């Protein structure tokens, strides 16, 4: 009798425990840890802004949704990470718009040389209706990416092993460009030979002479140490002012409730403006650091480069003629 009662008690306890086990795993399954990635290292403005967005997300959802950042290209190059985001292996990716062009051709209007007058003009465009339309176009495209917001990438200028002041100086020089045929055409029009290459390969390519230089903004030139590979002349061509974006995989987005989606969008807008403040500071900091490291900043009148790239704007811009007029008509704040 006693034995039977004990057995029943044991069975009840086991059921109860089993229940607890179940409910524990259910709540663990409800928790979502978003995998975020960036080619830039920890501490870079873009990385910091996304991490803060994750902290706010976690706070607002009582830890139900959190974010884990994988900086410094640990999950691959930008092209590969875009692919991983498309299939849902990465949840949130911060990327240049450059390598997004081959996946969502509509964004190439922002990837054209000298399409923006200056950075203030670019900001006015991305903060306004054109910027929102572009985010919507990316999200509506078949690329399986949801565009959450913009980030600043400043202006890209040339850095080379030998000084460059005019298009003729680039003759015979191989210059690394991001993976998008538009950029190879741009460099060829500027007088050099554009070579498409992943960001992670640039340091060694400069060092071994596979390329004679590359082009980027001061924070990237500094954090990627490309000047240490020998490219110490930084010519202020400012030929590309490419905004950057952060996107969520549509696979992940579709798992979120409408409320969570709205929360993510709200925090993304905040991240956009937080990054901008951090960005401005980092450009000033890294410019000073580059100069201290002996990088020579060469000031030039970039009109010759502007003129020489007119055929690229004509070739790629024809399909965006109306949009280009609206971009041109946008006044800087
Ligand atoms: C940096 C961008 C980064 C690109 C890199 C590049 O922030 O997204 O991957 O340039 O040149 O400025 O590939």
How far does the centroid of ligand 1 lie from the alpha carbon of residue 18, in Å? 50
Q: Which residue CA neighbors atom 5 of ligand 1 most closely?
A: 199
How high is the pLDDT of residue 249?
Answer: 99
**pLDDT tier at 194, thresholds 50, 70, 90:** very high
**Mean pLDDT across 321-329:** 97
Q: Which atom of ligand 1 is nearest to the CA of 242?
A: 12
How far does the centroid of ligand 1 lie from the alpha carbon of residue 183, in Å? 13
How high is the pLDDT of residue 27?
Answer: 63
What is the rounded CA–CA span in Å between residue 204 and residue 201? 6
Delimit the CATH 3.40.190.170 region(s) of the chain.
30-104+119-152+244-285, 155-241+288-329
**pLDDT tier at 30, thresholds 50, 70, 90:** confident
User: Cβ(216) to ligand 1 under 6 A?
Assistant: yes
> Can you say how many angstroms the Cα of residue 70 is from the centroid of all Cα atoms in its chain?
13
How far does the centroid of ligand 1 lie from the alpha carbon of residue 132, in Å? 22
Give 68-99 as a 3 state SS string: EEECCCCCCCHHHHHHHHHHCCCCEEEEECHH
CATH homologous superfamily of domain 155-241+288-329?
Answer: Bacterial extracellular solute-binding protein, family 7 (3.40.190.170)
CATH homologous superfamily of domain 30-104+119-152+244-285?
Answer: Bacterial extracellular solute-binding protein, family 7 (3.40.190.170)
Q: Which of 17-31, 33-47, 253-267 has the lowest mean pLDDT?
A: 17-31
Question: Hey, what are 295's tokens?
Answer: 């990088």
Q: Which residue CA neighbors atom 3 of ligand 1 most closely?
A: 96
Instruction: For the chain, give the percent of residues with pLDDT over 70.
Output: 91
How far does the centroid of ligand 1 lie from the alpha carbon of residue 199, in Å? 7
How far does the centroid of ligand 1 lie from the alpha carbon of residue 40, in Å? 8
Q: Which atom of ligand 1 is nearest to the CA of 198?
A: 13
Average pLDDT, the chain: 93
Q: Has residue 271 got a pLDDT over 90?
A: yes
Q: Give me the residue label for tokens 């009798």.
A: 1
User: Cβ(155) to ligand 1 under 6 A?
Assistant: no
Q: Has residue 7 got a pLDDT over 90?
A: no
CA dihedral 134, 108, 114, 333 (to 10 degrees): 10
**Mean pLDDT across 12-27:** 44
On whether the CB atoms of residues 168 and 191 are closer than 8 A, the answer is yes
How high is the pLDDT of residue 333?
Answer: 81
User: Cβ(178) to ligand 1 under 6 A?
Assistant: yes
How high is the pLDDT of residue 99?
Answer: 97
How far does the centroid of ligand 1 lie from the alpha carbon of residue 302, in Å? 22
User: Cβ(95) to ligand 1 under 6 A?
Assistant: yes
Q: What is the largest CA-CA distance in the chain?
A: 101
What is the rounded CA–CA span in Å between residue 112 and residue 132? 19
Sheet with 65-70, strands from edge to edge, namely 65-70, 32-37, 92-96, 244-249, 145-151
Whole-angstrom CA distances from 176 to 186, 203, 285 are 11, 10, 25
Quickly count: other Cβ atoms within 10 Å of residue 190's Cβ.
25
Which of 153, 275, 286 is the pocket-test mutation for ligand 1 (most atoms within 8 Å of CB)?
Answer: 153
Q: Has residue 60 got a pLDDT over 70?
A: yes
User: Cβ(153) to ligand 1 under 6 A?
Assistant: yes
User: Cβ(235) to ligand 1 under 6 A?
Assistant: no
């Amino acid at each position: 009798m006693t034995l039977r009662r004990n057995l029943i008690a044991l069975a009840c306890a086991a059921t109860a425990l089993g229940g607890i086990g179940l409910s524990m795993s259910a709540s663990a399954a409800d928790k979502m840890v978003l995998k975020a990635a960036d080619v830039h290292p920890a501490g870079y403005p873009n990385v910091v802004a996304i991490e803060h967005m994750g902290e706010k997300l976690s706070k607002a959802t009582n830890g139900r949704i959190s974010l884990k950042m994988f900086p410094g290209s640990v999950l691959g190059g930008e092209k590969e990470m875009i692919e991983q985001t498309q299939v849902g292996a990465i949840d949130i990716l911060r990327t240049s718009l450059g390598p997004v062009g081959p996946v969502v051709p509509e964004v190439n209007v922002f990837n054209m040389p000298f399409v923006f007058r200056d950075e203030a003009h670019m900001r006015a465009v991305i903060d306004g209706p054109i910027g929102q339309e572009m985010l919507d176009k990316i999200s509506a495209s078949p690329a399986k990416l949801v565009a959450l917001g913009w980030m600043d990438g400043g202006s890209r200028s040339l850095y080379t092993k030998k000084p460059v002041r005019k298009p003729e100086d680039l003759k015979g020089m191989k210059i690394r460009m991001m993976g998008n045929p538009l950029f190879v055409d741009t460099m060829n029009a500027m007088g050099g030979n554009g070579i498409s290459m992943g960001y992670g390969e640039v340091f060694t390519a400069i060092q071994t002479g596979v390329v004679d230089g590359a082009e980027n903004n001061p924070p990237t030139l500094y954090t990627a140490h490309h000047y240490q590979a020998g490219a110490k002349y930084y010519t202020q061509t400012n030929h590309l002012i490419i905004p950057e974006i952060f996107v969520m995989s549509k696979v992940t987005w579709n798992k979120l409730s409408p409320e969570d989606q709205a929360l993510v969008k709200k925090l993304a807008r905040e991240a956009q403006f937080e990054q901008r403040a951090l960005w401005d500071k980092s450009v000033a900091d890294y410019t000073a650091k580059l100069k201290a490291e002996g990088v020579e900043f060469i000031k030039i009148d970039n009109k010759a480069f502007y003129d020489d790239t007119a055929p690229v704007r004509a070739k790629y811009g024809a399909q965006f003629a109306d949009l280009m007029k609206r971009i041109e008509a946008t006044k800087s704040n």
